[in-house]
Amino acid sequence: MRFEVLTDIGRKRTVNEDGAAVYTLPDGTLLAVIADGMGGHRGGDYASRMTIRLMGEQFMNIQLDQLKTDEDWKEWLLESVFYVNRYLFNKASADEQYKGMGTTLDAVLIRGSDCQIVHAGDSRVYQLNQKDVKQITKDHSYVNVLLENGEITEEQAANHPQRNWIMKAVGSERRIDPDLYEVDLTEDTFLLLCTDGLSNKLDEQTIHKIIHADGTLREKVVQLVQMANKMGGEDNISVILIGPDDMEVKQP
Amino acid sequence: MIGRRIGGRYEVLHSIGDGGMSKVYLAHDVILDRDVAIKVLNYEFANEEELKRRFLREALSATSLTHPNIVNIFDVGEDGELHYLVMEYVEGQTLKKYILEHGPLSPEQALPIMRQLVSAIANAHHNGIVHRDVKPQNILMDAEGNVKITDFGIAMALSATSHTKTNSVIGTVHYLSPEQARGGMATKKSDIYSLGIVFYELLSGELPFSAETAVAIALKHLQEETPSIREKFPSIPQSVENVILKATAKDALHRYRSADEMYEDLLTVLEPERAQEEKFGIPYDDDQTRVIPIIKEKAVREEDHEVTKKMEPIQPATPAEPVKKKRKKWPIFLGVSIGIIALLAALLFIPGILRPKQAIIPDVSNMNEVEASDALVEEGFVIERSIEQPSEEIEAGNVIRTVPEAGKERDVGTPITLYISTGKEKIPMSDYVGRDFTQVANLLAGYDFLSIDEPIEEFSDEDPGTILKQDPAPGEEVVPSETVIAFTISKGKDMRTLGDLRGLDRNQLKEYEKSSGFTIRDAGSEHSSTVQEGHVISQQPEKGASLQKGSLVDVIFSKGPPKKPVKLHVRTIIIPYEPEVTNQPDTEEDEAETGTETEQPKPPQTVRIYIQDRKHSIKDVFVEFTITETTKRQIQIELEEGQSGAYQVKRDDEVIEEKTFSYDDE
């Protein structure tokens, strides 16, 4: 698998509260983490930064011989999120400066063609094939719940004054109950992790078009971010694009 | 922050609250030398120009509010990065804390609080300001139980940031109206909804809807009926529960029309005759078909479920039926018309084109229903149904608009919905008799009545200002914009000033009785040396007293000057016995001389005494007797002041003594 990570402050904000990173183990196991921090004076920046770092540390310290089945890995993912949640929540409770902080979190674990995703908040993971694009994660946002319950329309959701309210965030409450997803990767699967700085600006068709256009992974992520900035760039924009190994490079 | 001086004049003393988006401090205004509460926003406005403008706009508009139950805003400012609001300092606690400590409250305890809150919100609404975030956390209560609402408009202004916020920092949604939960504009009706939730919380000590996450609570506001407070507290009168149910109706149309209306309801809600009111139910009304555009399957089912228990079932699933009935005269006519059209169409188009022809929908507004239908049918459209609704501009019976609207090009045969005006919207007049005029006038200023006449004042036993009569009468349906309201109010009791009655005689008093309206009562008479007999000596009450018309005034008449005591003149008179000596005196003398004197009979003399005094007249004999010897007699003559008396003593018709004297003689 190849990947590209790009995080951009956007055009309006003075702080980048997003964080994104990809970690790999010697056996090729890969963990991609993206986080969109929020709240408090310094909290947002701290929450996302710490989440990326702590998830990375946990991952790098894995004893591979202890994790065998999918179930073990799932367990590990959840435990890691619980750990980060506790860490941030305690910090927020103890230090006034960090009160009210929290962060979205999407962590994508890839082992071969197995892919497990842990999710909290309104950052997204998309799965893209040649043909179509599919949003895997469900936004834990206020408006999304209302939308799913048929209380509001897509249009009302897009203009809802509380569209920035999210119902689940790492570090904001003592307990967290993240969603878990499993995806089978095929040879032409791209995975896109992004914060709402991107997904609020680009619809699925546009994303699909950019990702399936010619060009390197790097060019694609740059173009995604540029496009979001062109549309206003009010928020921080972060993307991780994971693509299949380039046949031509691999073949020789 | 403590010890810092903000804006050059506010010295921060200590923290008094923390509201997530802001912190509140007690500060001292060194210029005006008073304590103030200063709210410092936790928020960084950097790059949120729009938000900042909005916050300032809302805060400034709230400074215009002056009401005893609204926390005064003195100043809005920024000091470097700091944005702050300076407010009246209210010593006390939030209503939230009060409920936690004292809830649940009885209706008698909760009502004074609610009345203050609703009156404050009504005042803000009259000034065009919607609070948007009414909740006990935004209400302060002092030791006397006075409550004041704070944070008009600003809480929601602040929450509109583009920054993502987590469950832990978003404000409470426990008081959020369904329309706000959906992301719609907060209206005056939204405040009414929140007030209803606050009322529920006061009476139960709990929130009607609770759940783990904000969105789960919001969903309950959208989908679940407000729980019945009487299930938990059966002693609460139905009329009180109805206030909650009406205020928290899901559809804003079913809520109180205004905070004023809610206030009015709260004034009488505890009156015993209202205790047995029917439970509030959503009225089913044809007109409502137009305002319930989409009803979710799920919601329908839930409502039906709920409604089976109520007296007025809502049947949102079949809204078209009653409308159909209204046009029962149409089907035949339409059938014929459509037949003709179809025939025409067939004749015209059969040869070639089978695709539907299009036509422009004519403008039928202001036509009556028949003309409009004709015009539309002529163009080849089909009248699907007519919906009645009030309209300010269009005369009753005429078409307001069509759907699809005039000017649109549509296939021939497209069903058209007509909106028929029922005229201007009518509202029933409330009963204001017995209420205070000023209060009612303020209240009515909120509706668009054509005018409220200067009240006619009448005397009455009611307190001054109390409404005695109203026109239009209670219950009459009126169009406010065409209605002039006339009130007759009490100017209090008919008080008149009592004149000076002293010196008047009975005839004059009769005249005065007529002209003054007082009732004069003869309370007796007394002697007076200064007031002529038969004239008034004194009155009760005194002259100048302010008395109600018809009051009783006691007068005392003079019976002239007091008489001096009767004087008794006692006179002793001696009546000598002097018989007349006739031709036998010698013999008689001899006899006497010879010592046979005792034997010799003496001739009696008759004495008559006449007296003139207060009881007797000199003409009548007072006493008559005979004497045979000189006799002493005492007579009494009683004289009143001014009288003169006399006596006369006759002996054998000869006046032997006579005397006259006056009262003053001794």
Domain ranges across chain B:
7-88, 93-307, 322-421, 427-490, 497-558, 567-662
A-to-B residue pairs, Cβ atoms closer than 8 angstroms: 103
Output the CATH code of domain B322-421. Answer: 3.30.10.20
Residues 6+ apart with CB under 8 A from A98: A40, A42, A43, A46, A47, A88, A91, A92
Alpha helix stretches (DSSP H) within B546-595? 585-591
pLDDT (0 to 100) of residue A240: 96
pLDDT (0 to 100) of residue B221: 92
Name all contacts of A68-77 with Cβ < 8 Å and 24+ positions apart.
Answer: A70/A114, A70/A116, A70/A182, A73/A109, A73/A111, A73/A116, A74/A116, A74/A180, A77/A107, A77/A109, A77/A116, A77/A118, A77/A180
Nearest Cβ partner for B166 among A14, A102, A146 = A102
- Residue A2 CA to residue B371 CA, distance in Å, equals 73
Question: What mean pLDDT, rounded, does chain A reach?
Answer: 89
Using the 8-state DSSP alphabet, how is residue B253 labeled?
Answer: G
> Do the first three CATH levels of B93-307 and B567-662 match, i.e. the same topology?
no
At A179, list the tokens. Answer: 């969603």
Between chains, do B181 and A146 touch, taking CB under 8 Å as contact? yes
pLDDT, tens digit (0-9, with 9 covering 90-100), for A51-81? 999 999 999 988 888 888 889 999 999 999 9
ipTM for the predicted complex comes to 0.79
- Asked if residue B115 lies in contact with residue B96, where contact means CB atoms within 8 angstroms, the answer is no
Angle between helices B259-268 and B188-204 (to 10 degrees): 30
Between chains, do B168 and A142 touch, taking CB under 8 Å as contact? no
Handedness of CA B248, B252, B255, B261 (dihedral sign): positive
| B93-307 to CATH, choices 1.10.1060.10, 1.10.510.10, 3.40.50.300, 1.10.260.40 | 1.10.510.10
Bridge-based pairing of strands B415-421 and B399-403 is antiparallel
Minimum Cα–Cα distance from B163: chain A residue: A164
Between chains, do A169 and B166 touch, taking CB under 8 Å as contact? yes
Q: Topology of B497-558 in CATH?
A: Trypsin Inhibitor V; Chain A (3.30.10)
Residues of B with CB under 8 A from a CB of A: 20, 42, 44, 46-47, 156, 159-170, 181-184, 213-216, 218-219, 222-223, 296, 298
Q: Topology of B7-88 in CATH?
A: Phosphorylase Kinase; domain 1 (3.30.200)
pLDDT (0 to 100) of residue B115: 94
Output the CATH code of domain B427-490. Answer: 3.30.10.20
- Min CA distance, A104 vs chain B (Å)? 9
All structural domains of chain A, each given as residue ranges with its CATH number in brackets, are 2-250 (3.60.40.10)
* Closest listed residue to residue B70, CA positions, set B147, B144, B143, B126: B147
- Average pLDDT, consecutive stretches of 10 residues, N- to C-terminus, chain B (666 residues): 86 82 86 89 64 75 85 85 87 92 90 94 88 90 91 67 62 86 86 96 93 87 92 91 94 91 91 84 54 37 36 40 44 58 57 63 85 84 76 81 80 80 77 81 73 84 86 81 86 84 88 87 84 87 85 87 78 85 54 53 86 86 88 85 85 87 77
**Whether the predicted model's global pTM rises above the 0.80 cut:** no
* Closest listed residue to residue A241, CA positions, set A114, A116, A128: A128
Q: Topology of B567-662 in CATH?
A: Immunoglobulin-like (2.60.40)
- The answer to whether A201 faces chain B, any CB pair under 8 Å, is no
* Closest listed residue to residue A30, CA positions, set A158, A126, A116: A116
